[in-house]
Each structure stands twice: as structure tokens, then as C-alpha cells.
């Protein structure tokens, strides 16, 4: 298994995650916006190279989970960080409201069948964590899930945290590298971004009235995030709480953490079997004659 990347954004594994200690703004004296973009471009180039070898070696898979409040920048971060990777070895799944078919299965089913194959990088834009976030803020959603012998809410969410921990541990044991990013945007910055969507006709399509309604539950969402991260951040499936008020800095940090994680895999192109290599000279001569 890979080791978590030691940085100020790595959340603790002992259940002591404290939301009050997590910044929404980058540290002081960070690179400028233009410098962050240049640093991101360097990370993107390295990710492109690592992905090629990951795909060729075909042993590990990588899963990046993105969770955040609306307008934190999930979509744009995914676009920016993975802009250089080969689509043949990359996949993104965005999880919205569960379908009727999905509700006929357990809460991990719809994301489990979307997990990346060996050699591929997968991204979850929202994930199974919605079941301990939005469902915790709006427990009435459980009525549509038709759960048999539904326990009290406290026990139900404790059981779901346990299921998530067991699920991620099983996946990590079987070669899935799991990175979870919480893009931590402030309430004021979210308001500014909503206003930008309202003021710019090209961004109007992004705005939904429900987004503003959900702001009324901000404190409940923050408590749900704090509990979910405390319950599920582990060394084999770490959470990184990335300050999201500065998008350029945020994207660079996500790319940097991913790149440093891939470095630990010591990725190398597969070696050709010696018996096959002995035949290369003959194939080379044959193909050369065909071109003469």
C-alpha cells in the first residue's frame, strides 16, 4: 500500500479531525495565481507520464474521491488536474440522486460497479459519502431507500461508517490506491460564486435554486463532513482537506498529492519475457524486408 502524503492538509486517522482547525484559504506567502498555474502544468505533465506506466503495468488502480459543498470547484479541479491523462486509462463518474434500480441495492452498490479497473485512474465526483452527508442532513431521504428493520439514526450512520471503512480497506488490500479530497470552501466564498453564476449569462446554467436552499443547512453539512472525515480517514484511504477559496492553489495541491502518491508505486514499464525478446531480431528483419 502507498503511504499518505505528509502535508498540512492530511486529516488525522484517530478520529480527532476538527473542522475549526481547517482553513478555507491557502497559507500565507504561497505562490501567485500565475505561479500556481505553472506549478500545476508541471504536475499535469508528470501525471501524464505516470499514467502511461500505470496503464502498461496493469497492477494497481487509482481512485480519487471528490466531495465538497456546491461551487467549491470539483468539476473544474477534475478538468484541470487530469487534463493531460490519456482518456483510454481514465474514467470519471458523477453521482447524482440514486435511480430506482440503484435504490434496490445497498448504498455501496452503484459506486462499486463504477470502480476503476487495474491500470486505470478513476474519479468519483461525489460518491458513497453522500449517504453519510446529504442523507444525514436530510434523513427523510431514507424513506425512499426502503431499508428493512431500520435502526435509529445514530446506529444507522455508525453502521454506514463501518461499512465504508471495511469497503475501503478491502479495496486497498486488493491494489486500489484511494485518495479522498474534501474541497473546503467558505460560506462567503460560495455566495460570491453563486452571484457570479447569476451575473454571467454564460454561467446561468450552473445555477440551481436548490443550491441556495441548501445554504440554510450549512452548519449541519459542516458537522456531517467533520464526522464523516473523522470516522473514515485512514492511512490506506486518507482524506485531504484542501482550502478551496483559491482555485489555482487548490488544483495545484490536488495534483501534487496525486503525483507524490503515484511516485510511491515505483512504476516501471513491464519487462518483455526473455523468450519473446529473442524473437525480436527475427521480427525486425521480417518487417524491414517488407518495407524494402
Can you read off the three cell numbers belonging to residue 227?
Answer: 464526522
Contact by Cβ (8 Å): 164, 132: yes
Residue 84, in any domain of the structure: yes
DSSP result, 244-282: -SSHHHHHHHHHHHHHHHHHTT---PPPPPHHHHHTHHH
Residue 13, in any domain of the structure: no
Tell me the average pLDDT of the chain: 96
Can you read off the three cell numbers belonging to residue 92?
Answer: 470519471
Sheet containing 239-243: which strands, arranged edge to edge?
90-94, 121-125, 61-68, 176-184, 239-243
Can you read off the three cell numbers belonging to residue 233?
Answer: 480517514
Sign of CA dihedral 233, 216, 135, 77: negative
Find, among 227, 176, 178, 184, the residue nearest to 67 by Cα.
Answer: 184
Q: What is the CATH number of the domain that holds 25?
A: 3.40.50.300
Regarding pTM above 0.75, the answer is yes
Residue 11, in any domain of the structure: no
Find, among 83, 81, 261, the residue nearest to 176 by Cα.
Answer: 261
Instruction: Report how far residue 133's alpha carbon sits from residue 208's, in angstroms, rounded to the nearest whole number.
Output: 19
Residue 12, in any domain of the structure: no
Query: What is the domain extent for residue 86?
Result: 19-291
Condensed to tens digits (0 to 9), the pLDDT of residues 75-118 reads 999 999 999 999 999 999 999 999 999 999 999 999 999 999 99
The total number of structural domains in the chain stands at: 1
Q: Which helix (H) or strand (E) holds 57?
A: helix 33-57
Residue 180 φ/ψ region, left for φ over 0, alpha for ψ in the -120 to 50 degree band, beta for the rest: beta
Condensed to tens digits (0 to 9), the pLDDT of residues 157-199 reads 999 999 999 999 999 999 999 999 999 999 999 999 999 999 9
Residue 259 has pLDDT above 80, yes or no: yes
Residue 279, in any domain of the structure: yes
Contact by Cβ (8 Å): 121, 82: yes
Instruction: Report how far residue 179's alpha carbon sits from residue 193's, in angstroms, rounded to the nearest whole number.
Output: 26
Condensed to tens digits (0 to 9), the pLDDT of residues 200-231 reads 999 999 888 888 899 999 999 999 999 999 99
Contact by Cβ (8 Å): 54, 121: yes
Can you read off the three cell numbers belonging to residue 101?
Answer: 434500480
Amino acid at each position: 500500500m502507498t503511504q499518505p502524503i505528509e502535508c498540512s492538509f492530511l486529516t488525522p486517522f484517530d478520529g480527532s479531525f476538527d473542522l475549526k482547525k481547517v482553513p478555507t484559504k491557502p497559507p500565507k506567502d504561497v505562490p501567485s495565481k500565475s505561479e500556481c498555474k505553472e506549478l500545476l502544468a508541471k504536475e499535469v505533465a508528470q501525471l501524464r507520464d505516470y499514467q502511461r506506466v500505470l496503464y502498461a503495468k496493469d497492477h494497481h488502480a487509482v481512485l480519487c474521491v471528490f466531495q465538497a459543498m456546491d461551487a467549491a470547484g470539483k468539476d473544474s479541479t477534475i478538468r484541470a488536474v487530469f487534463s493531460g491523462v490519456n482518456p483510454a486509462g481514465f474514467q470519471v463518474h458523477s453521482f447524482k440522486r440514486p435511480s430506482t434500480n440503484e435504490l434496490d441495492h445497498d448504498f455501496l452498490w452503484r459506486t462499486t460497479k463504477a470502480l476503476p479497473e487495474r491500470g486505470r485512474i478513476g474519479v468519483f465526483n461525489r460518491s458513497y459519502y453522500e449517504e453519510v452527508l446529504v442523507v444525514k442532513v436530510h434523513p427523510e431521504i431514507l424513506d425512499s431507500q426502503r431499508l428493512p428493520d431500520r435502526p435509529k439514526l445514530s446506529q444507522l450512520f455508525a453502521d454506514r461508517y463501518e461499512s465504508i471503512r471495511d469497503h475501503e480497506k478491502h479495496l486497498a488490500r486488493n491494489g486500489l490506491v484511494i485518495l479522498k479530497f474534501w474541497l473546503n470552501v467558505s460560506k462567503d466564498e460560495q455566495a460570491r460564486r453563486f452571484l457570479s453564476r447569476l451575473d454571467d449569462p454564460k454561467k446561468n446554467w450552473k445555477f440551481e435554486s436548490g443550491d441556495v436552499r441548501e445554504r440554510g443547512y450549512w452548519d449541519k453539512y459542516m458537522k456531517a463532513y467533520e464526522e464523516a472525515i473523522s470516522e473514515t480517514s485512514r492511512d490506506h484511504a486518507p482524506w485531504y482537506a484542501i482550502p478551496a477559496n483559491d482555485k489555482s492553489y487548490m488544483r495545484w495541491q490536488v495534483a501534487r498529492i496525486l503525483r507524490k502518491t503515484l511516485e510511491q508505486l515505483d512504476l516501471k514499464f513491464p519487462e518483455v519475457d526473455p523468450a519473446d525478446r529473442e524473437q525480436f531480431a527475427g521480427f525486425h528483419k521480417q518487417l524491414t524486408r517488407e518495407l524494402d
